Structure 1
Amino acid sequence: MRAAMVRELISRMRSKEHANDQPSTPRPRARRRKKKAALAVSAMVMTVGSTGYELGNPSDANAITLVSQHDNIRRHASKRTVSEELKEAIAEEEGVHLTVYADPIGKPTVGVGHLVRAFDNLSVGDVISYERALEFLEQDLKQAEAAVARLTANLPLYQHEYDALVDLVFNIGEGNANKENSPNLNAAIKAGDYAAIAEELAYHTAGNAKLRGLAYRSDRRAAIFQQADYSDPRPRALALRDPQLEGIDTG
């Protein structure tokens, strides 16, 4: 049921994206297919170095780890918006809930991880549409984008590095990413130490409880930041424990 709802939301998201495309603008889905094709041809993958592209051996033959050829320089966060790949990854991670529920720490939540606010006029048990869930997601992503621009100041970022930081803020909130609550992350950003930033992307607890889902999400976030790999690590993790599970939908 969860996987079906996620697929439905992503389908609607892609339809909306398609409708907003200009004729002269290459569609992200088309670019993604080109990236997959390039990966299939080559036994090597492109990983990102601090000064550009470097060739490296893939850690997983099934991973999609190609950086977009249309984005080979770092830019300030204020010049960026989240990619469609990240939107879909967040939907997969958060799931899609059309009925308002209480999250692990008791906060009313709906849609794609949207924390219900007083002016949303919603209570636990209320039902929303897919369209409203998408509206909430766009609103929340804009807030996360603005927060990342504040967090990173003048630090330039590749698209995938930016996406990973937006996912972090979307997941834990801007307050938990500030200097007081995440001093090492902020120190790494100030120093322009991209490797150290990657090490600070792991958040495994909610309400003082360690959650496996957050651990998987942290692994995915780190892979996005370091390798531009937006794929879900769960199928690979399950396959390592039991090869017969490889290829099974775990949503």
Structure 2
Amino acid sequence: MSAAVMGLSTGASDISAFDPRYSISLMDLDPTEQRVHAMDLRVSETMKEALAEEEGVRLVVYRDVAGYPTVGVGHLITPQDGLSVGDRITYEQAIAFLESDLEKAEKGVKRLVGDLPIYQHEFDALVDLVYNVGEGNVSESQSPRLNRAIANADYDSIAEQLEYTTAAGKVARGLQYRSERRQSIFMEASYEDPRAVEVDKAGRISA
């Protein structure tokens, strides 16, 4: 993982839809030890590393598992990008896309959870979800159970709803692993990749 990615800071912008009366200062609370208002949180460096592991850092535009043109750290190409499959970008452009996409995902999570207090690792898992599937797919119409769990402050049920395993209507093994990792981050603050290889006594590598 590049230090440029690891050291990236994506400042959370103010969102007028949130009442500042609910804001809790991180000077008073440690979000790794106590749940705080999502407005006070930004994605952690550990989550950025996990995200880059999941998405990879690719400098040539390719099609993802759903067939969408993608580049950088899982950045979906937009018409404004002016890029097509096979085009190459610089590493600096990849980081700029990541910064912009993370800021959007953070805002999406803050709109999703509203006033529900959350830990840093819970916020990270939800950022990964929104980054991966898009804010539209976690809306009340598309993900009613997730939204109901948030409304009921039912953290166990929120974790259960973090499983998104299909792309273009088909189950993707990579998304199954990613969902497993996302749920572990949310429930246990465990960021390890479940696909980490193991070597047996005979020297054979297994996933």
TM-score interval, smaller chain = 0.7 to 0.9
Map of 1:190 onto structure 2? 151
Tell me which moved more, 225-234 or 121-130: 121-130
Q: For 2:130 and 2:31, how far apart are their aligned partners in 1?
A: 25
The alignment's TM-score, normalised by the length of structure 2, stands at 0.84
How far 1:11 sits from its partner (Å)? Answer: 3.0
> Could you say which residue in structure 2 is the equivalent of 1:137?
98
Contact kept? 2:108, 2:135, Cα under 8 Å: yes
Aligned ranges for residues 142-181 of structure 1 at < 5 Å?
142-181=103-142
Deviation at 1:216, TM superposition (A): 0.3
What is residue 45 of structure 1 aligned with on the other side? none
How many angstroms does 1:243 deviate by?
A: 7.9
Aligned counterpart in structure 1 of residue 204 of structure 2, from 217, 226, 244: 244
In structure 2, stretches of 5+ residues that fail to align are 10-29
Identity fraction in percent: 52
Flag the structure with higher helix content. 1
Structure 1: which amino acid aligns with 2:49? E
* 2:32/2:120 contact within 8 Å kept: yes
Deviations 1:98-118 (A, max 9, x none): 001122222111001101111
Q: Which runs of 5+ in 1 are unaligned?
A: 1-6, 21-68
Counterpart-to-counterpart distance in 1, 2:31 and 2:108: 25
Residue 165 of structure 2, aligned match among 204, 210, 229: 204
CA RMSD of aligned residues (A): 2.0
Runs of 4+ in 1 over 6 A off after TM superposition: none
TM-score normalised by structure 1 residue count: 0.70
**Counterpart for residue 112 of structure 1:** 73
How big is each residue's C-alpha offset from its partner over 1:198-231, in whole Å with a ceiling of 9 and x where there is no partner?
0000111000010000000001000100111111
Task: Determine if contact 2:31/2:120 at 8 Å carries over to the other structure.
Answer: no
- 2:1 counterpart of 1:13: no
Give the Cα–Cα distance (whole angstroms) in 1 for the partners of residues 203 and 172 of structure 2. Answer: 24
C-alpha deviation, 1:171, in angstroms? 0.5
